[in-house]
Structure 1
Amino acid sequence: MAKKEEAKAPAAETDGKPAGKSKLKLIILIVVGLLLAIGLSVGATLFFLKGDKKEEAKSEEHAATEDAGKPVKKQAIYEVLAPAFVVNYNYKGRQRYMQVSVALMGRDKAELDALHEHMPVLRNNLVMLFSGQDFEALSTPVGKEMLRQQTTASVQALAQKETGKMAVEQVLFTNIVLQ
């Protein structure tokens, strides 16, 4: 039996040494495999991102060529009419007031500047329009919106008449006070 134990002992020692080397080899292989996987994922990410950028550039070029025939919508420009408009009413035997702050929205600064020369006429037309309104109708949101639309039409008509261009796209009420 002693021979069997001796025979087993050298086998265990030889298995012990290669086992340590095989563990080291296994760790090295795992590290190399992880580094390879990380490198491949980074490379694939960069490849696909470059492909997306090329596709975006192509789609932008395509959109630019399609829009070449269409007019490009310019950025909105706002012109605030100061001071605010104040008009008075005689409503049911009492004196009532309305204060309206107005801003003009256009797309071309030169057209708005051309309209600026006619500001006294524009302000006069708006005062007359505001003072001719029904106080009770203006107390509702629908009445205020109707007044805003009438004001827009009035300003656009004046701009068309005086400058020959539609300088104002919309008239906006930035503040309305009814008292």
Structure 2
Amino acid sequence: MADEQLEEEKPKGKKKLIIIIVLALLVLGGGGAAAYFFLFASSDEPAPEAQAQEPARIRALYVRLRMPGDKPSFVVSLTDTNGRQHFMQIFAEAKTRDQAMVDALTLHMPLVCDRLNFVFSAANFEEIQTNEGKLALQQKALDAVKDVISKETGKSDVEAILFTNMVMQ
């Protein structure tokens, strides 16, 4: 009778062993598949098609627009409609993404500053007290800088003129 119990227990032990081996293989296979998925299949690089469609972002470069003698600001006098005299001080920078344009702005800085002095001194005091007036003055300054640089170099890749400080009194 004891022999019969031993013979019946042996097949149950083999079944347990087979089940454990199958479960271990499933766990190892699932872990390997997950590792492959996380390491190789989902890399951070976009597909080649997405890379071709998305233009490369070039770092912005800024040039301080300075008066001769490295004076950091433009100071102009303005007159309002009542005939009262006011002063405006502007610190300005040009934004571009081309190093050649930075070099051109540096080389032709006296011409750029001369033109900007005319633009700033022709501003209407009442208009530039509003945000829209300041934006219009920035646009006029950008147009003036682009005009000077395009005449001197044949191209103008200046994106914006930024007023980093503006004081009116």
**What TM-score results when the alignment is normalised by the length of structure 1?**
0.69
Structure showing the higher helix proportion among its residues: 1
For 2:118 and 2:45, the matched residues in 1 are separated by 54
Superposition map of 1:16-55 within 5 A: 38-48=27-37, 49-53=39-43
For 1:40 and 1:124, the matched residues in 2 are separated by 74
| Equivalent residue number for residue 89 of structure 1 | 78
Shift in alpha-carbon separation, 1:133–1:56, aligned structure 2, 3 A: closer
Superposition map of 1:65-76 within 5 A: 74-76=58-60
Deviations 1:20-78 (A, max 9, x none): xx9xxx8x99987876565344212112241223x946x136634x67xxx85532211
> Percent of aligned pairs with the same residue?
37
For 2:84 and 2:30, the matched residues in 1 are separated by 79
For 1:51 and 1:98, the matched residues in 2 are separated by 60
1:110 partnered with 2:100? yes
For 2:109 and 2:158, the matched residues in 1 are separated by 13
Shift of 1:169: 2.0
For 1:62 and 1:150, the matched residues in 2 are separated by 38
After superposing the two structures, state which structure 1 stretch, 132-141 or 34-43, moved more.
Answer: 34-43
Shift in alpha-carbon separation, 1:127–1:31, aligned structure 2, 3 A: farther
Q: In structure 1, give the amino acid aligned to 2:51.
A: A
1:151 partnered with 2:141? yes
For 2:168 and 2:77, the matched residues in 1 are separated by 10
1:142 partnered with 2:132? yes
For 1:93 and 1:30, the matched residues in 2 are separated by 99
Q: Which runs of 5+ in 1 are unaligned?
A: 1-13
1:133 partnered with 2:123? yes
Q: In structure 2, give the amino acid aligned to 1:175.
A: N
For 2:74 and 2:23, the matched residues in 1 are separated by 74
Q: Is the 8 A contact 2:63 2:93 kept in 1?
A: yes
Q: Please tell me the root mean square deviation across aligned C-alpha atoms, in Å.
A: 3.3
The count of aligned residue pairs is 155
| Equivalent residue number for residue 4 of structure 1 | none
Q: Give the secondary structure class of the aligned counterpart of 2:156.
A: coil
Q: Is the 8 A contact 2:63 2:105 kept in 1?
A: no
Q: Which runs of 5+ in 2 are unaligned?
A: 67-71
| Equivalent residue number for residue 152 of structure 2 | 162
For 2:165 and 2:20, the matched residues in 1 are separated by 69
Q: In structure 1, give the amino acid aligned to 2:33.
A: A
